[in-house]
């Protein structure tokens, strides 16, 4: 019966471990993300490093495990050496991704320090545009070198004795894009990525190398995976360790209509399924032994973004609505449901640029999209567990169009977890604009804690001076049926018997 939905949750049936890195962040030298976002020396809100304390305090609430840096498209003309050493000697350069001037006042050591203060791990992206392999090796040595060698000593000279031990490194960003200063073909990229990977892993076999994919469904993805996922010790790669550990994909969703907007993230679920198949296919075709770890997906740019509607420089300062918050909640449900395949997901980006957190000179503002991110990061960890939903589906237009009929778009979008603390968590997004759903809940204990994110209509926003969308806490008395309000994210949390 479509009118009385049923959600059944099975805490004793785990599906897969959730990698905490699905709650990763991303800070790019773009717009006001670094300068005026996380770094603002001279501001009364800055600490002795020039880091905005209010931004750090807010981001700490998200318990972010990894942050990607320095881009994004910015990487394609970035020379890391410009951003280390005495600040007064660092050169200003024209910056070709966003057509600004890069002062290099914030560079590798500042980012590492910021990560330390935030309590997060760095993830760096190599310059595959104007950068050279030599430069990339130098950067890796600067960050991770322990011996008496030139770049390790340069790091010591710049005040950091211990290596930073940066684990995650990306082999370029969106190198397939026509916006790149030196756009690659899939053939040229696969060749270069493999050669760089060999050298980088010779220097430091412990790093995790991330291949640059497209949206996970493109011929680029098939080709590059096929050429680069090789057995260690093979004819094509004499490396003792696998060269590629993760495959990166990017996707932004958005629509001016609420329901296409809220259902669009389901496209990412389809992309993850296809990418995952391509990973398996490449391994089979190349004879990679099953003993060699299976690469996971690094969804290192995702969010709701429409550069046309977004205000501010570069079409990057989004003013998010309740509809967008629900879309972000659906995105996060996707990552939880697909936890077997997703090894990392970085919301693009962490501050000001396409971000749930905005700054003014005086304060930070938590946008509508902050709240789903906050709740998921706080509670939806541990293992994904089986959860079934039987309810009606939205049958109208979707964005992208192919979603309609390809993927189910139920009114109630659901995921569930069992945390390491023994608590079960159920996240339910009711995307319906006018209908509350009284729902039979099976497997949810009485006296569940309830967190609800909702607001007054799809256009509710926190950028008009008031917090129109926040989170409310309550307790459910467990009477068998729960009413999921229209336009809401509900997170129920309980200790299973």
If the CB atoms of residues 267 and 418 are measured against ligand AHR, the closer one turns out to be: 267
Strand 296-304 relative to strand 246-253: parallel, antiparallel, unpaired? Answer: parallel
Based on the shown chain and the rule CB under 6 A, indicate whether residue 173 belongs to the binding site for ligand AHR: yes
Active-site residue identified among 95, 174, 269, 318 = 174
Provide the CA 18 distance to its chain's centre, in angstroms.
14
Phi, psi of 81 (to 5 degrees): -65, -30
Based on the shown chain and the rule CB under 6 A, indicate whether residue 28 belongs to the binding site for ligand AHR: yes
What is the DSSP secondary-structure string of 162-183? S-----EEES-SSTT-TTSTTP
User: Exposure pattern of 36-57 as b/e (b: 16+ CB <10 Å)?
Assistant: bbbbbeebebbeeebbbebbbe
Based on the shown chain and the rule CB under 6 A, indicate whether residue 121 belongs to the binding site for ligand AHR: no
If the CB atoms of residues 5 and 71 are measured against ligand AHR, the closer one turns out to be: 71
Based on the shown chain and the rule CB under 6 A, indicate whether residue 122 belongs to the binding site for ligand AHR: no
**Which residue from 264, 325, 255, 256 is spatially nearest to 487, judged by alpha carbons?**
325
Applying CB under 6 A, among 11, 70, 72, 343 the residue interacting with ligand AHR is 72
End-to-end CA distance of the chain: 29
CB of 173: closest distance to ligand AHR in angstroms? 5
Cα separation, 322 vs 469, whole angstroms: 7
395 tagged catalytic: no
Based on the shown chain and the rule CB under 6 A, indicate whether residue 70 belongs to the binding site for ligand AHR: no
Based on the shown chain and the rule CB under 6 A, indicate whether residue 310 belongs to the binding site for ligand AHR: no
Output the CA angle 94-97-100, nearest 5 degrees: 40
User: How many CB atoms sit inside 10 A of residue 360's CB?
Assistant: 8
**Which residue from 111, 9, 82, 42 is spatially nearest to 350, judged by alpha carbons?**
111
Based on the shown chain and the rule CB under 6 A, indicate whether residue 55 belongs to the binding site for ligand AHR: no
If the CB atoms of residues 173 and 339 are measured against ligand AHR, the closer one turns out to be: 173
Q: Using CB under 6 A as the criterion, what x/- string covers residues 339-358 for binding ligand AHR? A: ---------xx----x----
CB of 360: closest distance to ligand AHR in angstroms? 21
CB of 353: closest distance to ligand AHR in angstroms? 7
Active-site residue identified among 301, 317, 467, 497 = 301
40 tagged catalytic: no
Segment contacting ligand AHR by CB under 6 A, of 45-53, 70-78, 268-276, 322-330 = 70-78
Cα separation, 13 vs 305, whole angstroms: 35
Based on the shown chain and the rule CB under 6 A, indicate whether residue 214 belongs to the binding site for ligand AHR: no
Point out the residues that are catalytic: 174, 301
Q: Can you give the binding site for ligand AHR, defined by CB under 6 A?
A: 28, 30, 71-73, 173-174, 301, 348-349, 354
């Amino acid at each position: 019966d479509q009118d009385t939905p049923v959600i059944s949750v099975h805490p004793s049936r785990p599906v897969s471990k959730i990698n905490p890195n699905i709650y990763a962040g991303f800070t790019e030298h773009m717009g006001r993300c670094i300068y005026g976002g996380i770094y603002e020396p001279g501001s009364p809100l800055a600490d002795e490093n020039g880091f905005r304390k209010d931004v750090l305090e807010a981001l700490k609430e998200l318990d972010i495990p990894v942050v990607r840096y320095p881009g994004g498209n910015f990487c394609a003309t970035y020379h890391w050496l410009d951003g280390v050493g005495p600040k007064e000697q660092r050169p200003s350069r024209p910056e070709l991704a966003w057509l600004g001037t890069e002062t290099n006042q914030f560079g590798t050591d500042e980012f590492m320090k910021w990560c330390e203060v935030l309590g997060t791990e760095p993830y760096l992206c190599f310059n595959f545009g104007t950068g050279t392999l030599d430069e990339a090796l130098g950067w890796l040595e600067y960050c991770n070198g322990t011996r008496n060698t030139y770049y390790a000593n340069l790091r010591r000279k710049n005040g950091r004795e211990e290596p930073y031990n940066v684990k995650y490194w990306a082999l370029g960003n969106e190198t397939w894009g026509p916006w790149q200063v030196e756009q690659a073909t899939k053939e040229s990229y696969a060749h270069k990525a493999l050669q760089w990977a060999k050298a980088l892993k010779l220097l430091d076999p412990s790093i995790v190398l991330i291949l640059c994919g497209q949206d996970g469904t493109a011929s680029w993805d098939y080709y590059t995976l096929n050429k680069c996922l090789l057995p260690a010790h093979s004819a094509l790669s004499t490396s003792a360790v696998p060269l590629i550990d993760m495959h990166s994909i990017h996707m932004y969703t958005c629509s001016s209509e609420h329901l296409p907007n809220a259902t669009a993230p389901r496209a990412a679920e389809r992309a993850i399924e296809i990418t995952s198949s391509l990973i398996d296919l490449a391994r089979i075709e190349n004879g990679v032994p099953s003993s060699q770890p299976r690469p996971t997906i690094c969804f290192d740019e995702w969010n709701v973004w429409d550069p046309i509607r977004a205000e501010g420089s570069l079409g990057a300062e989004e003013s998010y609505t309740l509809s967008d918050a629900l879309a972000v909640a659906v995105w996060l449900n996707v990552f939880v449901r697909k936890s077997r395949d997703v090894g990392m997901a970085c919301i693009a980006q962490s501050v000001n640029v396409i971000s749930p957190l905005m700054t003014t000179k005086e304060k930070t503002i938590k946008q509508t999209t902050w709240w789903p991110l906050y709740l998921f990061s706080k509670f939806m960890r541990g293992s994904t567990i089986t959860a079934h939903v039987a309810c009606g589906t939205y049958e109208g237009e979707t964005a992208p169009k192919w979603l309609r009929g390809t993927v189910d778009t139920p009114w109630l979008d659901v995921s569930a977890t069992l945390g390491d603390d023994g608590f079960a968590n159920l996240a339910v997004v009711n995307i319906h604009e006018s209908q509350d759903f009284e729902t039979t809940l099976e497997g949810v204990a009485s006296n569940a804690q309830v967190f609800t994110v909702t607001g007054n209509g799809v256009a509710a926003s926190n950028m008009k001076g008031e917090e129109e969308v926040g989170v409310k806490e309550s307790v459910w008395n467990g009477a068998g049926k729960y009413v999921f309000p229209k336009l809401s994210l509900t997170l129920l949390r309980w200790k299973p018997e």
